Amino acid sequence: LRSTQIVFIPSRLAAAPRAMRLAVSFSRSMCASAEYDVCIIGGGPGGYVAAIKAAQLGMKTICVERRGALGGTCLNVGCIPSKALLNSSHKFHEAQHAFAGMGITGGEGLAMDVSGMQKQKDEAVSGLTKGIEGLFKKNKVDYVKGHGRFSDPNTIQVELMEGGTQTIKTKNTIIATGSEPVELPFMPFNDFGAKTCVSSTGALLLEKIPETMSIVGGGVIGLELGSVWARLGTKVTVIEFLDKICATMDGELIAAFQRSLKKNLKFKFKLSTKVVGADITDTGTTLTVEPAAGGAQEQITSDVTLVAVGRRPRTEDLGLEAIGVKLDKAKRIETKAPGDFFTGVPGVYAIGDCIAGPMLAHKAEEEGVSCVETLAGKHGHVNYGVIPGVIYTHPEVASVGMTEEEVKAAGIEYRKGTFPFMANSRARTVGDAEGLAKFIACKNTDKILGVHIMSACAGEQIHEAALAMEYGASCEDVARTCHAHPTMSEAIKEAAMACYDKPIHF
């Protein structure tokens, strides 16, 4: 008898005889499920995709998720809700600032109903999480809501959300527990309280438009969420320890991106600056900052401070140490090698944000599929050199492959080609011509090494480059591929032409 087969409505259970309640408690804590081929701990993008793929490959599969909703950080408090707010705020900002130029009047007088914007976001998230549950049922994946810990390499003990425990016996376990925002010791989050010092989670929950916002950290998450509120009228100041924002991305592209944020959204940047103190109240924050190299201090006061200094793997309280799974200095689970998800403990594997590599949902998904394909005796594959990254601002910024800085550091002789969207007919026609496309290729072979795009639809355009790189294409291959006219993708063709020869339209 499996404990998940016993279902009581809480009110009926409370009214049931004490002996029955004890029997239910006993069944939950003592009865073990039949052995599974694979158990996935974590129902985020890596975990739920791995679970579905495993079931499709004929494995008896169970997924344990402590949040009580599938989709992980990405779907519940990350990628998906932020894109809802980015979309709503962009349309509002466009109506205010661009409609008049197209002959559409009245946009200047529009107002934003923040509660309505948040409702649309929540409905989108709810629908998608339920959709994953439907996919689990369709593919016959068992789903347990609770916190899973290892008792031994083949036994998972789950503290159920509804109370009690469930024991899962499994031949293999995939750890896909994801990551969480880094909290600075002197800046505790109050995401579910005053919301004056927030993580990315709290920034998605704001109930009114703040007049001022400080963002600690000039990375992707901070700039995306800062854009949401800046479009609605918030004055945003970004404080970054390094001398540039988005430090791992292509310098030429990011310089253009920073200029765009200053021009279009009035962002202020304090680079090479560190936060050394914070006074957090229920009405706002006052940050004490100083130059990263040391120097005179100053204070920055704002209604809300968003701390976006990175994320850390969620690897605590899983019983890893007891079964011999090792962690590195960053508390990530150590695996045999990139693309090999074996932890060194027989039957235990790990994927996604809790292991080394970029903390991206699509990277976790690829690893989940690869891991279960390998378990099924197939040949799993993840090409870590062709994992796109996207900043979903407006314009968007997207990259795949090596940056120009990385190519130089590697000592590779290269050529580069760029093409501005200002020279693209479709971009000019629709009034969205800010940005450029950039190709970097080997000087001797013309093989594409990296592609970087800033445009209104860079997040969609980057996949042409990713596909080309996956198959080892050259810039000439892309340039000689017919692109429909008029499209913004023609700028990608022209940038490839600029790299191996000369563009036509610039």
Q: What's the rounded Cα separation, in Å, for the pair 433 and 505?
A: 14
Classify strands 311-313 and 179-181 as parallel, antiparallel or unpaired. antiparallel
For strand 396-401 and strand 389-391, is the pairing parallel, antiparallel, or unpaired?
A: antiparallel
Given the residues 97, 381, 463, 485, select the one marked as catalytic: 485
Tokens of 393: 């601002």
Number of residues in the chain = 506
CB of 190 within 8 A of CB of 383? Answer: no
SS3 sequence of 387-444: CCEEECCCCEEEEEECCHHHHHHCCCCEEEEEEEHHHCHHHHHCCCCCCEEEEEEECC
- C-alpha to C-alpha distances, 493 to 160, 417, 477, nearest whole angstrom: 54, 11, 9
CA distance 337 to 340: 5
In DSSP terms, which residues pair with 342 in a beta bridge?
349
Any idea what the Cα angle at residue 403 is, between residues 402 and 409, rounded to 5°? 90
DSSP string for 363-389: HHHHHHHHHHHHHTTS-----GGG--E
Give the Cα separation of 250 and 405 in Å (integer): 7
147 is catalytic: no
Yes or no: say if 55 and 140 are a contact pair by the CB < 8 Å rule: yes
Question: Which are the catalytic amino acids?
Answer: 485
